[in-house]
Amino acid sequence: MIAQRPSSVWPTLGAALLVVAGGALLWLPLHTQHALDDWEKELRGTGTPATAKVYDRVTKSGGNRTSASTTMYFRYELAGRTYEQEVGCVEVCRWPGDEVRIWVNPDDPGDFVTDFDQLSGHRGRIQGGLGVVGFGILVVAVPLLLSRIPFDRWFPRRTPPRRSSARIEGNGRFTSRSKHKRSSRR
């Protein structure tokens, strides 16, 4: 009989903490997207309407990404001042010279939502990156945590029934087990 070493609780606790951290990082972009959707609706209701003009559009090569990213640059006037702001091309990308209806936050004139539901700036990029990191942590931590759970103790394996080692009587022919009584032919 081989003596098993008692397993330490620290690796199990560490794996559980990794699962919690990975889950939190994966949840962050989802929560951020819901908050941005709510802010977009609020800006449409309480923001100051204005018209912005696309004055530039820049596409940068992918770098370490697989696709290029395009950014539109807007110019608009509010209360006699001219503002410039960028908007990432996500679903809609307008050309220079196009006019876009926007609703501007009265407390922060650099914050607005467009008529095609895009918020100013590049919001949520960091949270998206953290979500990818969280997914990677979960891919490693969940199997690690599952390997630390003593399933054998909780759900013991069935042992196959033992064959009897009794001697065969008679002429030494093989006889099979049966739940039916054997009729004797003598």
- What is the DSSP code string of 148-183? HS-HHHHSPPPPPPPPP-PPPPTT-------SSPPP
pLDDT of residue 183: 60
Q: What is the mean pLDDT of the chain?
A: 82
Predicted confidence at residue 27, as pLDDT, reads 93
The DSSP 8-state label assigned to residue 57 in this structure reads E
The pLDDT of residue 153 is 75
CA–CA separation, 165 and 184 (whole Å): 22
| 73 compared with 168, residue with greater pLDDT | 73
Residue 99, classed as helix, strand or coil, is strand
What gap in Å lies between CA 118 and CA 90, rounded to an integer? 8
Structure confidence by residue, pLDDT tens digits, 112-166: 999 988 888 777 778 888 999 999 999 999 998 888 877 777 777 777 766 665 5
Note whether 102 and 50 are within 8 A (CB). yes
Which pLDDT score is estimated for 6? 55
**Tokens coding 81:** 């001042």
Q: Which two structure tokens, joined as six digits, stand for 173?
A: 């022919």
List of E strands, 61-133? 69-78, 81-88, 99-105, 108-114
How far apart, in Å, do the first and last CA atoms of the chain sit?
48
Quote the pLDDT of residue 186.
52
Look at residue 127 in the predicted model and tell me its pLDDT: 84
* Helix, strand or coil, per DSSP, at residue 88: strand
Adjacent-strand bridge partners of 48:
104
Q: Could you tell me the sign of the dihedral formed by the alpha carbons of 117, 26, 23, 32, in that order?
A: negative
Q: Annotate 2-27 with b (16+ C-beta within 10 A) or e (fewer).
A: eeeeeeeeeebeebeebbeebbebbe
